[in-house]
């Protein structure tokens, strides 16, 4: 390194020093410690005791653990496609030459800004089995015994999927930005060639925005596996909404099984990696990057 | 576009928008009702005020269930509202309306049940006569109950503290995140140095780590430092740059021509001054986006305060709202809960309308630049 290079490196490191300190203290150390704790019996109050693979073995025989895995996967299989497709449909409609687009966009976007706690309260109230707005509407149109929603084990997950759908405005705005980047010339050329609206959607628009669909899918998987706040506040009958992240939280802060919680977190990390990898394999032939 | 297609598009958009707004509307309307109107089946859309002459004076009254046939009216122990039971399902006296009051009548006043007698039959009470008045003499007007808001604040007990804590966290997080992320992004984008891109790769990789992985060690770290139960764990980290915001700002910093920095350097301007006085002012839109999203994140955060705040007096608004709900034993006071929810949502919505463009651009940026 020349003296000039060395000086520049020091200046560069000085600028990124906040991140280096934060990285070591709040990421690198916790990641290593978490891995260590996952092989320990640890309750925070006393020092961790090495137990080898016990936490991981316990997981295999813990039926609540498996239930939380099942709940999380089933919930995501409902909410993820529902959210992605609805958001895309709304964005496609908003991308048409409609009047008051800004107003519509604001209306669809606003719920995604609502604090999760407040949103959960509002939805608890709407989904209230006896006097909730939804069931009153259903009874008014002649359904005499509507489900109890969050208090019904069979309906609790669909209820939460409905709540998450309310917050899909974020995704709508991302899609809308991507749609506005679709080359106008391609669409016009297709129109001249007599392609129908459906064909233009399938052969031009969707391939053009496929990287953004893929991005939303990944964000959806990563966020969906960690779904926490709405579910823990709204509850749900008979552990039907005991999701993975909630079970980690219970283990860490209610039962003080910090080692078990750390082990669960690492399995979550592996699940996210596996699903991300699967999504990338699945989408390899479907995602088109412009300029390639 | 053909007309039918256009009509369908508008129809779908308007219906969808109505459904998206409905929860907000229902929240605000509930927040403006008296409790008993929230808990009735076939609730009314708009908050009403019911008045009826009692003892020669017009008074505000509850509107209980309509009674059209002889029946027993009872209050279940701990239940928020009276229940009308058909006479055949109850042993004991059958209640008849007081003389002079023809059916249908409304039962107006709540009669508390006693612990020893979970069900109290109104039919046994002679003094109840004046609580029952003919349906025809009840006058109805639409009245919004604004006093639910101050009452909800009082019901939340430590509301001023919650608000202060939340605002402190918002301000500290915004200042910390914007300053540190901008500085780090500058180091990663506008300076050439050995190892820069490798370290940036490490920064990107940290974004992949799910929070639960670091949750336990962070807790034990902050506990060891004696910070559990204080606000520190919830803001100190923000002064050490957030990977995602660094990434976002770096994208923005790279669009500014290099010549600008070169010219300043030739004039003898130090690197920090270039960052502070030239680059930062040019990047205001991006900084606003980062600041806005950080503010929202701090305002909305639930898991962080849930883990670190232990004393109910030190909560944030989000946590306080949850505490308010769990502290209501028995009947949920939905009108207060909805009023408190409205108060917590209102600043967020106001902020959105003030800075709508930054929000939309920021969101679009996160999706399309990735």
CATH of A58-283, one of 1.20.59.20, 1.10.510.10, 3.30.2130.30, 1.10.3720.10: 1.10.3720.10
Average pLDDT value over all residues in chain A: 91
Q: Nearest CA of chain B to the CA of A128: how many Å?
A: 10
Question: Which stretches of chain B drop beneath a pLDDT of 50?
Answer: 75-82, 85-101, 109-130, 369-370
Contact (CB<8Å) B349/A245: no
Percentage of chain A exceeding pLDDT 90: 66
CATH of B158-327, one of 3.90.1860.10, 1.10.3720.10, 1.20.1440.230, 1.25.60.10: 1.10.3720.10
Size of interface A-B (CB pairs under 8 A): 264
B211 neighbourhood in chain A, CB within 8 Å: 226
Instruction: Give the residue, B89 or A41, on which the prediction is more confident.
Output: A41
Paired residues of B58 in beta bridges: B53
Measured CA to CA, the distance from residue B187 to residue A13 in angstroms comes to 7
Burial class (CB in 10 A: 0-12, 13-18, 19+), B63: buried
Domains of chain A, residue spans: 58-283
Interface check for A218 against chain B (CB to CB < 8 A): the answer is: no
Phi, then psi, of B112 in degrees rounded to 5: -70, 145
String of b and e for A130-159 (b: at least 16 CB within 10 Å)? ebbbbbbeeeeeeeeebbbbbbbeebbbbb
Q: What is the pLDDT of residue A131?
A: 83
Closest to B301 in 3D by CA, of B344, B257, B247, B352: B344
Q: What is the pLDDT of residue B114?
A: 38
Whether the CA torsion B152, B157, B159, B160 is positive or negative: it is: positive
Give the A window 261-280 contacts with B, CB below 8 Å.
261-262, 264-266, 268-269, 272
Whether A175 shows a pLDDT value over 80: the answer reads: yes
Measured CA to CA, the distance from residue A160 to residue A168 in angstroms comes to 13
Q: Nearest CA of chain A to the CA of B46: how many Å?
A: 13
Domains of chain B, residue spans: 48-143, 158-327
> Which ipTM did the prediction report?
0.91
Distance separating the N- and C-terminal Cα atoms of chain B:
33
Give the B window 7-66 contacts with A, CB below 8 Å.
9-10, 12-13, 16-17, 20-24, 26-27, 30, 38-43
Mean pLDDT across A160-189: 91
Contact (CB<8Å) A253/B307: yes
Interface check for A209 against chain B (CB to CB < 8 A): the answer is: no
Contact (CB<8Å) B338/A121: yes
Q: What is the pLDDT of residue A161?
A: 95
Which pTM does this prediction carry? 0.86
Q: What is the pLDDT of residue A237?
A: 81
Whether A128 shows a pLDDT value over 60: the answer reads: yes
Q: What is the pLDDT of residue A22?
A: 95
Q: What is the pLDDT of residue B98?
A: 46
Instruction: Give the residue, A33 or A283, on which the prediction is more confident.
Output: A33
Is residue A136 within 8 Å of residue B42, measured between CB atoms?
A: yes
A128 neighbourhood in chain B, CB within 8 Å: 334
What string of DSSP letters covers A195-247?
A: --HHHHIIIIIHHHHHHHHHHHHHHHHHHHHT--HHHHHH--GGGTT--HHHH
Contact (CB<8Å) B26/A126: yes
Contact (CB<8Å) A31/B338: no
What string of DSSP letters covers A25-71?
A: IIIIHHHHHHHHHTTEE--SSS--EE-TTHHHHHHHH-HHHHHHHHH
Contacts of B290 (CB under 8 A, 6+ apart): B177, B178, B181, B182, B245, B248, B249
Q: What is the pLDDT of residue A139?
A: 86
Q: Nearest CA of chain B to the CA of A106: how many Å?
A: 8
Phi, then psi, of B142 in degrees rounded to 5: -85, 115
Instruction: Give the residue, B356 or A39, on which the prediction is more confident.
Output: A39
Interface check for A213 against chain B (CB to CB < 8 A): the answer is: no
Contact (CB<8Å) B218/A262: no
Percentage of chain A exceeding pLDDT 70: 99
Contact (CB<8Å) A125/B334: yes
HSE-up (13 A, CA, CB side) for residue B110: 14
Q: What is the pLDDT of residue B328?
A: 78
Per-residue pLDDT tens over the stretch A211-268: 899 989 999 999 999 999 999 999 878 889 999 999 999 999 999 999 999 999 999 9
Is residue B72 within 8 Å of residue B122, measured between CB atoms?
A: yes
């Amino acid at each position: 390194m020349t003296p000039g290079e060395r000086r520049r490196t020091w200046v560069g490191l000085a600028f990124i020093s906040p991140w280096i300190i934060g990285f070591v203290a709040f990421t690198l150390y916790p990641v290593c410690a978490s891995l260590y704790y996952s092989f320990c019996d640890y309750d925070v109050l006393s020092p961790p005791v090495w137990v080898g693979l016990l936490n991981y073995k316990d997981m295999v025989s813990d039926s609540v653990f498996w239930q939380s895995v099942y709940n999380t996967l089933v919930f995501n299989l409902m909410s993820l496609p529902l959210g992605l497709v609805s958001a895309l449909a709304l964005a496609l409609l908003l991308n048409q030459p409609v009047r008051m687009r800004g107003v519509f966009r604001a209306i669809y976007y606003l719920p995604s800004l609502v604090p999760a706690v407040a949103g959960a309260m509002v939805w608890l109230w709407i989904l209230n089995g006896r006097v909730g707005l939804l069931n009153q509407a259903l009874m008014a149109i002649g359904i005499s015994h509507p489900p109890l929603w969050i208090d019904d084990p069979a309906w609790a997950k669909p209820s939460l999927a409905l709540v998450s759908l309310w917050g899909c405005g974020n995704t709508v705005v991302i899609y809308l930005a991507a749609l506005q980047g679709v080359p106008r010339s391609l669409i016009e050329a297709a129109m001249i060639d007599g392609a129908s609206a459906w064909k233009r959607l399938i052969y031009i628009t969707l391939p053009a925005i496929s990287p953004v669909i893929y991005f939303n899918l990944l964000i959806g998987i990563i966020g969906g596996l960690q779904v926490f706040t709405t579910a823990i506040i709204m509850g749900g009958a008979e552990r039907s909404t005991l999701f993975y992240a909630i079970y980690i939280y219970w283990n860490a802060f209610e039962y003080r099984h910090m080692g078990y919680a750390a082990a669960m977190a690492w399995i979550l990390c592996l699940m996210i990696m596996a699903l991300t990898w699967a999504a990338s394999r699945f989408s390899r032939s479907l995602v088109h990057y412009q300029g390639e | 576009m053909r007309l039918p297609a256009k009509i369908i598009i508008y129809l779908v958009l308007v219906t969808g928008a109505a459904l998206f707004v409905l929860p907000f509307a229902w929240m605000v309307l509930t927040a403006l009702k008296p409790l008993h109107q929230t808990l009735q089946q076939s609730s009314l859309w708009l908050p009403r005020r019911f008045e009826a002459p009692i003892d020669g004076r017009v008074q505000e009254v509850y509107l209980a269930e309509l009674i059209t046939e002889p029946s027993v009216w009872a209050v279940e122990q701990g239940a928020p509202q009276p229940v009308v039971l058909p006479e055949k399902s109850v042993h004991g006296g059958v209640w008849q309306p007081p003389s002079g009051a023809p059916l249908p009548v409304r039962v107006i006043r709540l009669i508390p049940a006693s612990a020893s007698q979970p069900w109290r039959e109104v039919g046994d009470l002679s003094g109840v006569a004046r609580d029952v008045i003919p349906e025809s003499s009840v006058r109805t007007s639409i009245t919004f109950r604004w006093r639910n808001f101050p009452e909800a604040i009082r019901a939340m007990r430590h509301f001023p503290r919650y608000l202060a804590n939340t605002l402190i966290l918002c301000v500290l997080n915004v200042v910390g995140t914007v300053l540190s992320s901008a500085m780090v992004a500058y180091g990663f984008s506008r300076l050439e140095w050995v190892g820069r891109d490798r370290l940036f790769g490490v920064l990107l990789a940290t974004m992949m780590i799910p929070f639960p992985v670091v949750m336990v060690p962070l807790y034990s770290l902050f506990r060891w430092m004696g910070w559990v139960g204080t606000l520190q764990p919830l803001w100190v980290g923000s002064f050490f740059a957030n990977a995602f915001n660094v990434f976002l700002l770096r994208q923005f910093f790279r669009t500014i021509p290099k010549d600008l920095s070169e010219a300043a350097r030739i004039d003898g301007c130090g690197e920090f001054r270039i960052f502070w006085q030239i680059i930062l002012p040019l990047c205001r839109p991006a900084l606003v986006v980062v600041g806005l999203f950080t503010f929202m994140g701090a305002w909305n955060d639930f898991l962080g305060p849930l883990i670190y705040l232990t004393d109910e007096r030190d909560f944030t608004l989000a946590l306080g709202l949850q505490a308010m709900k769990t502290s209501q034993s028995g009947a949920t006071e939905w009108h207060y809960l909805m009023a408190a929810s409205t108060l917590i949502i209102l600043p967020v919505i106001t902020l959105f309308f003030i800075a709508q463009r930054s929000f939309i651009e920021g969101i679009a940026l996160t999706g399309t630049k990735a």
